Amino acid sequence: MTAVNDTTERTYHPCLYLLDGEDGYLLWYDGDGEKDGVFVDAAGKMLSFRTKAALIEFALPNGLRVSREEPDLHHLDSVEAWLANPHPQTLDRDEAIIAWNLFKDVAESVDGAGAAFKTADTGLLPIYNKLFEGFSQPSDWALDDEPYDPELSPEELQTLVELLTIGFRMFRQARS
């Protein structure tokens, strides 16, 4: 693996995920006002490491700064299991929004491989907001002085299933 010539003074963060029963680590970065993303190699592939130690062993000789923070687990297996039998009552909204955010960051980083996800994600802010804000607010919360119902309609739920399915396909294809 060869590092891409990264001219910015970016700090990367270990991003831990569980997919297909195996842990993996990505080098994630906060765009600091720009788009967030993950490190990709010269071929445009997202680098994934089996251990945090392997991630560090790659980053140091390639001049990549990596924070020492311990990453939270992105439990992609639980989201993918839900996709196999998607019911509104069993949706883990926290895990779904975490997966959605990760897929957005990957799509921004892998150029062409992320195009289908970016296209599918267009116009979905109302669904995103229901997941991100709607379920963490009190039941009497109002949006623009109107009562806010954060429940996903059947159509919104189907759209979420389609988007996350595309996200999983992209994620697997983008990994090196």
pLDDT of res. 111? 82
Q: Which pLDDT does position 149 carry in this prediction?
A: 59
Q: What angle, 0 to 180 degrees and rounded to 10, lies between the N-to-C axes of helices 154-174 and 76-84?
A: 130
How confident is the model at residue 136, as a pLDDT?
56
Q: What is the reported pLDDT for 130?
A: 86
Q: How far apart are CA 121 and CA 95, in angstroms?
A: 17
Instruction: Tell me if 13 sits within 8 A of 67, measured CB to CB.
Output: yes
Collect the ranges in the chain with pLDDT lower than 50: 1-2, 5, 7
Paired residues of 49 in beta bridges: 25
Rounded CA separation 33/14 (Å): 20
Alpha-carbon distance of 143 to 150, in angstroms, equals 10
Distance of CA 135 to the CA centre of its chain: 19
What is the average pLDDT score of the chain?
88
